[in-house]
Amino acid sequence: MSEYIVKENALVDFFKSLASGRRLLTPQGLGDKCKLEETPPDKVNLDFSNTHMSPKSLLFPQTEALMAFHNDASKPQAFVYQSLGDKGEPLAVFGIRPCDAKGLSIANKVFQNDRFTDNYWKGKIDQAVLVGLACDNPSPQCFCAAMGGSPFGEAGLDVLAFRQGKDLGLKPLTPKGEELVKASGAQTANLADAIKGLEAEAVKSQGVPPDYKGIDNADLMALFNDPHWLATAENCLNCGVCTFFCPTCHCFDIQDETSEKGGVRMRNWDTCMSWLFTVHGTGHNPRPSKTERVRQRFMHKLKYIPLKQDGVRGCTGCGRCVAMCPVNIDIRSVALKMTQTAASQA
Amino acid sequence: MPALTDITNKIRESAKKLLASGQAEVVIGYRQGTIPMTTSPFFARTADECDLLVWSNFARINLANYLPGRAGKVAMVAKGCDARSAIGQVTENQILKDNLYIIGVPCTGMIDTNLVVAKEARPIREVVETADDSITVKGQGFSTDIKKDEVLRRNCKTCVNRTPKLANELVGQEVNGAAADDFADIKALLAKTPAERMGYFKDLIKDCLRCYACRNACPLCYCPVCFVDETRPQWLGKSTDPMDTMTFHLLRGLHCAGRCTSCGACETACPVNIKVREFNRVMELTVQNNWNYEPGLSWDQKPPLTMFQTDDAADFIK
Ligand code: SF4
Ligand code: SF4
Ligand code: SF4
Ligand code: SF4
């Protein structure tokens, strides 16, 4: 696939073509109000840093009703749960950052893999085309490069868009993306070298990435049993903000709620930071204190997910948890401690 | 010497003495955060660790939150509001007075980072805190001075008890707070119709994620199991249903009535910037009006909602 270019004066037409037959969602609003919203093609904003929350709620809403039943015995199928469908719709999402797209690709392997498929996730992602916008000026909180990504990363995207002066460069990455770009009337252009140059500069702005490779090679139990977890977790509030904001956190809780008329089964975001997350019906809790819970979060991100997903880390370096944690527990400092454990074991 | 540096030095000195003399096994303070405009609660147990303690305009989390149920002798660094929370915990039997040592910092107010970002929207890569009445934020190609007065947290603007007078020691010069918190905003709110008030509070929490960071950051919320987490029976749904969310906030407000010291930790912790304290302020005013009570101002006062008096103004109780 070659690259394409959309000239500044053709941008609105490009977004019109994205919006044709689909809803166009792009980041709108500033700071903590920045979120993916339906956008008229002439109102797309390219000057944002990132959405306040990750885009995962597009595919995995905080609350999603999965099934429902009615209790009117005079009608058929009383008291029988019926699926409410996946609620997928044709979407073009423009402006996803590479860290977040990579985050979705990691969660995607949890919801769709060789063992099972979650139709509620699949129904949405199949109808969405994801156009990322590369970061030419990463925020101070970003560390995608340290986590094996890049401000121009491609994982999870159908198309990578990038600013080329005042124009918009496009690199299709999937057949779905190629089709979208071709239909938009964008001009082909050879931009491979331009991308390389822009990417190198953006990566440079994040400084020399720390090396966490030690964690990948370290013995799992050595990392698990290291005494540092006690101190690492000591100031944690167990609030779960880190997990709610993380693009790769995907744990959920299934709940049934009933009313006079029937009931609904829904799926809600859950958080491993909560005491309730692991408590058994007997009252036994295998993760009784915040030390075990904090360890779980970081071991999951930096050791268990890489083991299951061919070395890809469960943290993409979006920096949200670092910025949002009320007590500044910084995954980079924790990764460093884990790297030190690994080194002392070697 | 800038006031913050002076306080930092005195905190370190005091912490070392307390650890060396055995008056404390751990000193809970703040260390510098890993990103600009943050600090991180820090537990110092050795002299070297004491040298990591700092004072800053961003020491916003209330460290009394780490006290309940703690065994052994503990010292904490406390602003005026935080010291009142700790004293409240002593009166609520959450920690023994003899086990607690308060290193009191006369506080000139903490900064709301959202207000800073509202003044300087470009990405901030560094903050300089050497001046007493302003900060300087820096980023790619800019350096902006911001007056501290203009970016104080709203609870700090109306804070009356900035100097923790009941602390075991004070580090730094005593400061005067606001003359009084007149609750003008809350009085105006309470003058509205019930429907208008409901509308106000519904709008206030419309973005709430129910992450419970406000609860977990609050030194009053030390219940072993919060009612929202109870499962047998389950009082509250787990979805984003607005009524469940409202129930959480209303009940939390009631549970904190007469106990909140307006430390602002809840609002600092909230990731979507909800003014959680609105609920608490209504209850504070109500408790002040009914029982002329403010929490954390003496070691032996009893929270009004935990006691019974035969001369109570309310009829139903007699
Ligand atoms: S790491 Fe921070 S954001 Fe996560 S649960 Fe702990 S205090 Fe909350
Ligand atoms: S762990 Fe933190 S930095 Fe990493 S992807 Fe999740 S929210 Fe982003
Ligand atoms: S409710 Fe908020 S302001 Fe009041 S004591 Fe708790 S954290 Fe502090
Ligand atoms: S911290 Fe904010 S978002 Fe979280 S439960 Fe409290 S008010 Fe809601």
DSSP string for residues in A299-328: HIIIIIHHHHTTT--S-----HHHHH-TT-
Whether residues A189 and A92 share a domain: the answer is yes
pLDDT digits (tens, 9 = 90+) for B114-169: 999 999 998 899 999 999 899 999 998 999 999 999 999 999 999 999 999 999 99
- Domain boundary residue, one of A173, A205, A237: A205
Q: What is the pLDDT of residue B313?
A: 72
Whether residues A198 and A228 share a domain: the answer is no
Structural tokens at position A232: 């690492």
Whether residues B171 and B23 share a domain: the answer is yes
Whether residues B171 and B253 share a domain: the answer is no
CB B111 within 8 A of CB B135: yes
Of the candidates A92, A98, A247, A91, the one whose C-alpha atom is nearest the C-alpha of residue A160 is A98
Asked whether residue B128 is domain-assigned, the answer is no
Of the candidates B79, B69, B91, the one whose C-alpha atom is nearest the C-alpha of residue B11 is B79
Residue B305, helix vs strand vs coil: helix
Pick the residue from chain A with its C-alpha nearest to B63.
A235
Q: Which helix (H) or strand (E) holds B299?
A: none
CB B268 within 8 A of CB B60: yes
Q: How many CB atoms lie within 10 A of CB B240?
A: 16
Task: Name the region of B69 (left: φ>0; alpha: ψ -120 to 50; beta: rest).
Answer: left
3-state helix, strand, coil in chain B (%, to 5): 40, 15, 50
Asked whether residue B61 is domain-assigned, the answer is yes
Q: How far apart are CA B75 and CA B92, in angstroms?
A: 18
pLDDT digits (tens, 9 = 90+) for A22-36: 999 999 998 889 999
Q: How far apart are CA B90 and CA B240, in angstroms?
A: 36
Q: Which residues contact B101 (CB under 8 A, 6 or more apart)?
A: B18, B23, B24, B73, B74, B75, B76, B168
Q: Note the maximum CA span of chain A.
A: 70
How many Cα neighbours within 13 Å face the side chain of B253? 20
Of the candidates A28, A43, A41, the one whose C-alpha atom is nearest the C-alpha of residue A184 is A41
Residues forming a β-bridge with B126: B138
Whether residues B165 and B236 share a domain: the answer is no
pLDDT at A346 over 90: no
Whether residues A249 and A296 share a domain: the answer is yes
CB A323 within 8 A of CB A137: no
List strand residue ranges (DSSP E) for chain B, in order: 26-32, 39-44, 74-78, 100-104, 126-128, 134-139, 142-147, 169-170
Q: Does A268 touch chain B (CB under 8 A)?
A: yes
How many Cα neighbours within 13 Å face the side chain of B71? 0
Q: Which residues contact B144 (CB under 8 A, 6 or more apart)?
A: B119, B120, B136, B137, B138
Q: Which residues contact A227 (CB under 8 A, 6 or more apart)?
A: none
Whether residues A130 and A235 share a domain: the answer is no
Q: How close is the nearest chain B Cα to the Cα of A206, in Å?
A: 12
Structural tokens at position B15: 């912490």
Residues forming a β-bridge with A161: A133, A170
Q: What are phi and psi of A174, to 5 degrees?
A: -135, 165
Closest atom of ligand 1 to A271 CA is 5
Q: What is the pLDDT of residue B317?
A: 65
Q: Does A327 touch chain B (CB under 8 A)?
A: yes
Q: How far apart are CA A306 and CA A312, in angstroms?
A: 5
Asked whether residue B254 is domain-assigned, the answer is yes
- Domain boundary residue, one of A185, A205, A225: A205
Q: What is the pLDDT of residue A1?
A: 61
Whether residues A187 and A250 share a domain: the answer is no
CB A123 within 8 A of CB A160: no
The residue segments making up the domain with residue A168 are 3-205
Whether residues A245 and A160 share a domain: the answer is no
The contacts found for A185-190 with CB under 8 angstroms, 24 or more apart, are: A185/A10, A185/A13, A185/A14, A185/A17, A186/A4, A186/A5, A186/A6, A186/A10, A186/A14, A187/A4, A187/A5, A187/A6, A187/A7, A188/A2, A188/A3, A188/A4, A188/A5, A189/A2, A189/A3, A189/A4, A189/A5, A190/A2, A190/A3
Q: Is B261 in the pocket of ligand 3 (CB under 6 A)?
A: yes
Structural tokens at position A129: 């085309």
Q: How far apart are CA B204 and CA A150, in angstroms?
A: 38
pLDDT at A140 over 90: no
Q: Which helix (H) or strand (E) holds A51?
A: none
Pick the residue from chain B with its C-alpha nearest to A323.
B35
| A208 pLDDT tier (thresholds 50, 70, 90) | confident
Give percent of chain A with pLDDT exceeding 70: 100
Whether residues A194 and A62 share a domain: the answer is yes
Structural tokens at position B104: 């009191």
CB A298 within 8 A of CB A338: yes
Domain total of chain B: 2
Whether residues B227 and B102 share a domain: the answer is no
Interface of A with B in 78-117 (CB under 8 A): none
Residue B110 CA from chain centroid, whole number: 10
Whether residues B173 and B204 share a domain: the answer is no
Asked whether residue B146 is domain-assigned, the answer is no
Pairing of strands B169-170, B100-104: parallel
Pick the residue from chain A with its C-alpha nearest to B115.
A31
Pairing of strands A23-28, A35-38: antiparallel
Q: What is the CATH number of the domain that holds B18?
A: 3.40.50
Q: Which residues contact A195 (CB under 8 A, 6 or more apart)?
A: A3, A152, A162, A169, A171
Ligand 2, atom 4, lies closest to the CA of A315
What's A112's DSSP letter?
B
Domain total of chain A: 2
Whether residues A199 and A222 share a domain: the answer is no
Whether residues B173 and B264 share a domain: the answer is no
Of the candidates A118, A117, A95, the one whose C-alpha atom is nearest the C-alpha of residue A27 is A95
ipTM computed for the complex: 0.95
CA A246 to ligand 2 centroid distance, Å:
5
pLDDT digits (tens, 9 = 90+) for A239-280: 999 999 999 999 999 999 999 999 999 999 999 999 999 999
Asked whether residue B289 is domain-assigned, the answer is yes
Structural tokens at position B206: 């419309």
- Domain boundary residue, one of A135, A170, A205: A205
pLDDT at A300 over 80: yes
The residue segments making up the domain with residue B103 are 1-108+161-180
Whether residues A201 and A76 share a domain: the answer is yes
CB A5 within 8 A of CB A164: yes
Question: Does the beta-carbon distance from A239 to B212 stay under 8 Å?
Answer: yes
Whether residues A189 and A225 share a domain: the answer is no
Q: How far apart are CA A202 and CA A345, in angstroms?
A: 35
Q: What is the pLDDT of residue B180?
A: 81
Whether residues B238 and B99 share a domain: the answer is no
Whether residues A32 and A161 share a domain: the answer is yes
Residue type, A341: T
Q: How far apart are CA B200 and CA B282, in angstroms?
A: 13
Total CB pairs under 8 A between chain A and B: 95
Q: What is the pLDDT of residue B318?
A: 63
Whether residues B222 and B171 share a domain: the answer is no
Q: Which residues contact A7 (CB under 8 A, 6 or more apart)?
A: A167, A187
Q: Is B249 in the pocket of ligand 3 (CB under 6 A)?
A: no
Whether residues A17 and A149 share a domain: the answer is yes
Ligand in nearest proximity to the CA of A50: 2
Q: What is the pLDDT of residue A86?
A: 92
Whether residues B49 and B175 share a domain: the answer is yes
Local confidence pLDDT in tens for the 318 residues of chain B: 778 999 999 999 999 999 999 999 999 999 999 999 999 999 999 999 999 999 999 999 999 999 998 989 999 999 999 999 999 999 999 999 999 999 999 999 999 999 999 999 988 999 999 998 999 999 989 999 999 999 999 999 999 999 999 999 999 889 988 778 889 999 999 999 999 999 999 999 999 999 999 999 999 999 999 999 998 899 999 999 999 999 999 999 999 999 999 999 999 999 999 999 999 999 999 999 988 899 999 999 888 888 887 877 777 766
* Helix (H), strand (E) counts: chain A: 13, 12
Q: How close is the nearest chain A Cα to the Cα of B309, in Å?
A: 37
CB B56 within 8 A of CB B38: no
Residue with tokens 């207000």: B115
Q: What is the pLDDT of residue B1?
A: 75
Question: Does the beta-carbon distance from A274 to B229 stay under 8 Å?
Answer: yes
Whether residues B291 and B314 share a domain: the answer is yes
pLDDT digits (tens, 9 = 90+) for A117-133: 999 999 999 999 999 99
